Amino acid sequence: MVVDNSISEPINEVLEALNLDETLVIVVKRRDWFFKDFQHILHDDQVWLAMKGSEELLAFDCSLSWEKYIFKHPQPKRPNSLRIYEAHVGMSSTEPVINTYANFRDDVLPRIKKLGYNAVQIMAIQEHSYYASFGYHVTNFFAPCSRCGTPDDLKSLIDRAHELGLLVLMDIVHSHASNNTLDGLNMFDGTDSHYFHSGSRGHHWLWDSRLFNYGSWEVLRYLLSNARWWLDEYKFDGFRFDGVTSMMYTHHGLQMTFTGNYNEYFGYATDIDAVVYLMVVNDMIHGLFPEAISIGEDVSGMPTFCIPVQDGGVGFDYRLHMAVADKWIELLQKKDEDWRMGDIVHTLTNRRWLEKCVSYAESHDQALVGDKTIAFWLMDKKRNGVVGRKEK
């Protein structure tokens, strides 16, 4: 039998070739393969190609089977007051390894429940190449991080959380994307403007990432379908939208102090397309999933941020009150007698009228991004106090 060279030429890792009753069976592993009819087999698939005469028979290895995951437990009702535990699945192991969805499900979720939380917020788990980004430089918006396991493993984690009565909030990244060209959306069609703004407006100079063009219908469809995908397919109970301030302003909130002047919120620096997208996605979430929770990470204090869309607002349920956590770290760096109670009260109460906020002691921004946990700050103070007494 003659094999067409155009087909056989890419085969560099043929593991086995058997001639059985005029049928050539080739087992191929971990190799891209293009066939005459333009079918493409991904590099991690195990494939059997059976050729009999001039006939090509293509079939996946029958030992590999897949069935859709069936959720066993209903989603818990939305609590009146959220108590959120933020976690990074990969960093949740006590060992120096990348933890898995399965281990997080079995080892961490019961502890979160025991500590009295009613919701767990999973840090950015959309597929990403750069692990040190903590998941915020997304390369595949529809896939969960493969380092931690399979999609079904993640579904099993969420199912177990629901069994324990825990809501699962996803840290969703729609504010920017990885600038990778080989495995990301950047230069997807050979131009820099397929999903993003072209030129300098399409690049975030601090995050080194690409910025979406929210005025494009195709981008709106892509991001809206992405938000629905995670709620529909994985049964997440809501989102924490990352980097909303960066979305709403062309200056991205960088080197900018918001004083409360309305021109800062509704001036030329406001990205109207981005604000409209946030209104549309929140309207979609609450229309299709009435129990779902929407939290926005905003430091600007945008008016109407937590007012329903039908009332003219942006539509979030909660604003992430980031200034509170920063204030605790600031206080721990000072002597107790230097604390100003009026300043503390102002930080805790500085919000829009009737605006619901998520206030917290610390998050990854304080514990990982150039800082350390409150526990370490307190231990430092204790240690320094002991050393000081010994010296005296």
For residue range 189-212, what is the model confidence (pLDDT) as tens digits? 999 999 999 999 999 999 999 999
Confidence of residue 291 (pLDDT cuts 50, 70, 90): very high
- Do 137 and 229 lie in one domain? The reply is yes
Domain count of the fold of the chain: 2
CA distances in angstroms from 21 to 1, 3, 50, 377, listed in the order given: 12, 16, 12, 73
Query: Per residue in 241-289, pLDDT tens?
Result: 999 999 999 999 999 989 889 999 999 999 999 999 999 999 999 999 9
- The angle subtended at Cα 273 by Cα 271 and Cα 276, nearest 5°, is 110
Question: 380 or 311: whose pLDDT is higher?
Answer: 311
- pLDDT > 90: percent of the chain: 62
Question: 340 or 55: whose pLDDT is higher?
Answer: 340
Q: Which of 271, 297, 298, 362 is catalytic?
A: 297
- Identify the pLDDT of residue 293: 98
- Domain contains 118: yes
Confidence of residue 142 (pLDDT cuts 50, 70, 90): very high
pLDDT at position 179 over 80? yes
107 classed as catalytic? no
- Do 32 and 101 lie in one domain? The reply is no
Classify residue 317 as exposed, middle or buried by CB count within 10 Å of its CB (0-12, 13-18, 19+): buried
- Identify the pLDDT of residue 66: 64
- Domain contains 301: yes
Q: Which of 242, 271, 298, 362 is catalytic?
A: 242
Residues 372 and 380: their CA atoms lie apart, in Å, by 11
Question: 41 or 193: whose pLDDT is higher?
Answer: 193
- Domain contains 242: yes
Confidence of residue 290 (pLDDT cuts 50, 70, 90): very high
- Domain contains 79: no
| Domain around 337 | 84-379
Paired strand residues for 48:
27, 59
243, amino acid identity:
G
Average pLDDT (57-72) is 63
- Do 280 and 142 lie in one domain? The reply is yes
94, amino acid identity:
T
Confidence of residue 383 (pLDDT cuts 50, 70, 90): low
Residues 325 and 119: their CA atoms lie apart, in Å, by 19
CATH classification at residue 246: 3.20.20.80
Q: Structure tokens of 336? A: 């107790």
Confidence of residue 37 (pLDDT cuts 50, 70, 90): very low
- Identify the pLDDT of residue 367: 65
Confidence of residue 364 (pLDDT cuts 50, 70, 90): confident
- Do 223 and 372 lie in one domain? The reply is yes
- Domain contains 16: yes
- Do 19 and 113 lie in one domain? The reply is no
Q: What is the mean pLDDT of the chain?
A: 83
- Do 307 and 339 lie in one domain? The reply is yes
Q: How far is CA 326 from the centre of its chain?
A: 22
Average pLDDT (5-11) is 38
- Domain contains 77: no
- Identify the pLDDT of residue 378: 79
- Do 156 and 253 lie in one domain? The reply is yes
- Do 21 and 163 lie in one domain? The reply is no
Question: In the 3-class helix/strand/coil scheme, how is the chain assigned residue by residue?
Answer: CCCCHHHHCCCCCEEEEEEECCEEEEEECCCCEECCCCCEECCCCCEEEEEECCEEEEEECCCCCCCCCCCCCCCCCCCCCCCEEEECHHHCCCCCCCCCHHHHHHHHHHHHHHCCCCEEEECCCEEECCHHHCCCCEEEEEEECHHHCCHHHHHHHHHHHHHCCCEEEEEECCCCECCCCCCCCCCCCCCCCCCECCHHHHEECCCCEECECCCCHHHHHHHHHHHHHHHHHCCCCEEEECCHHHHHECCCCCCCCCCCCHHHCCCCCECHHHHHHHHHHHHHHHHHCCCCEEEECCCCCCCCCCCCHHHCCCCCCEEECHHHHHHHHHHHCCCHHHCCHHHHHHHHHCCCCCCCEECCCCCHHHHCCCCCCHHHHHHHHHHHHHHHHHHC
What are the contacts of 18-22 at 24+ separation with CB within 8 A? Answer: 22/52, 22/53
- Do 249 and 336 lie in one domain? The reply is yes
Q: How many other C-beta atoms lie within 10 A of the C-beta of residue 99? A: 21
Q: Say if CB 90 and CB 99 are below 8 A apart.
A: yes
- Do 218 and 260 lie in one domain? The reply is yes
271 classed as catalytic? no
Query: Per residue in 103-126, pLDDT tens?
Result: 999 999 999 999 999 999 999 899
- Do 56 and 97 lie in one domain? The reply is no
- Identify the pLDDT of residue 1: 34
- Identify the pLDDT of residue 368: 66
